[in-house]
Structure 1
Amino acid sequence: MPAIDKVAWIHIDAGRVLCVRSHGKDAFYLPGGKREPGESDEACVRREIREELGVSLRPATLRAVGTFEAQAHGKPEGTQVRMACYAAGYDGELQADAEIAEFAWLRHGDRDRCSQIVQIILDALHRHGEIV
């Protein structure tokens, strides 16, 4: 079974990472989503963040953070998600748009509120001293 292919934005401020929760979902995720056919990682993450949070990522600041893989939240056992993560500066004011019910600034101690893949990413960010 092929992995669910996603691209996400990692934005850290004051030792916390920006996470979002979709309407009807119980777990927090990193903002981002699935790419459209033929869409590059950069184009996907820029489009998804504009749709979900109403801000524009600055292309010149976009940098790859890493790719992570885990069991997909809320999917049948064995369904994997692969998430290519990028950091970037942005222009605009963050706001929950589209399918986003809320956003929150989470610390490593909030990992139990997140999907499995985000827990893995929070662990890595904490190990590297990027979040508290």
Structure 2
Amino acid sequence: MTDVPHGEGLSRLLDPLARTAYRSAYALARVYWFVRRPQTRGVFVGVWHAGRVLLLQNSYKHKLSMPGGGYHRGESAPECGARELREEVGVHMAPAVLRTVFETVGSEENKDDHVTFVEVDVDAEPVLTIDRREVTWAAFIDLDTALRLNLSSLVRAYLEDAKHRRG
């Protein structure tokens, strides 16, 4: 029998339950959004290293995305982006280094999703820490490969814009 540290063994049991909870909550949110058609505001963060961009897979979505989420009361786009980076992939970054570069509106999830993209170029690839619950995978991918992947429409719009801006 292989020894598994107590916390790791418990995590192996809880992770699938947490992923199921995320999928269930997301499904309920999609029904609510379908009925109400709300306007939402959110931020995505483009983290770039050596021509590659950070993408991630949320446990409750089929398409690849980027670190991001909705604003908390009183947050600026860079503050929201810095918080989401920390929460989703364990990367600590000062809001001041995140620059606003792109805005778009999407309706892929039955809501008018007003999204601001902030981005940063880093000299060294940061160590990523994912929880295997909300985020199940994250990696830096070169831009051309990323554009061939199954991306959310909002992330695709940003990456297409980035391809033109970044040359």
Query: Per the shorter chain, which TM-score range?
Result: 0.7 to 0.9
Picking from 151, 155, 159, the partner of 1:114 is 151
**In structure 1, distance between residues paired with 2:64 and 2:152:** 6
Compute the displacement of 1:128 (Å). 2.3
Picking from 127, 138, 150, the partner of 1:93 is 127
**In structure 2, distance between residues paired with 1:44 and 1:60:** 11
Q: Name the structure with the higher helix share.
A: 2
Does the 8 Å CA contact 2:98/2:119 hold for their aligned counterparts? yes
**In structure 2, distance between residues paired with 1:31 and 1:19:** 8
Does the 8 Å CA contact 1:57/1:89 hold for their aligned counterparts? no
Unaligned runs of 5+ in 1: none
Does the 8 Å CA contact 1:108/1:122 hold for their aligned counterparts? no
Compute the displacement of 1:28 (Å). 0.9
**In structure 2, distance between residues paired with 1:44 and 1:129:** 24
Q: Name the structure with the higher strand share.
A: 1
**In structure 1, distance between residues paired with 2:101 and 2:115:** 11
Does the 8 Å CA contact 2:102/2:158 hold for their aligned counterparts? no
Say how many residue pairs are matched: 126
| % identity of equivalent residues | 27
Choose between structure 1 and 2 for higher RCO, CA contacts under 8 A separated by at least 6 residues: 1
Task: Compute the RMSD of aligned alpha carbons.
Answer: 2.3
- Residue matched to 2:163: 126
Does the 8 Å CA contact 1:58/1:88 hold for their aligned counterparts? no
Compute the displacement of 1:104 (Å). 2.6
Q: Look up the equivalent residue of 2:44 and give its one-letter code.
A: A
- Residue matched to 1:57: 93
**In structure 2, distance between residues paired with 1:48 and 1:59:** 11
Asked which structure has the greater CA Rg, the reply is 2
**In structure 1, distance between residues paired with 2:68 and 2:89:** 10
Unaligned runs of 5+ in 2: 1-36
Q: Look up the equivalent residue of 2:114 and give its one-letter code.
A: R
Q: Residues 110, 84 of structure 1: CA spacing in aligned structure 2 closer, same or farther, 3 A cutoff?
A: same
Does the 8 Å CA contact 1:21/1:28 hold for their aligned counterparts? yes
Does the 8 Å CA contact 1:108/1:123 hold for their aligned counterparts? no
Superposed CA deviations along residues 44-78 of structure 1, whole A, max 9, x for unmatched, are 11111111011111334221112122223xx23xx
Q: Look up the equivalent residue of 1:127 and give its one-letter code.
A: H
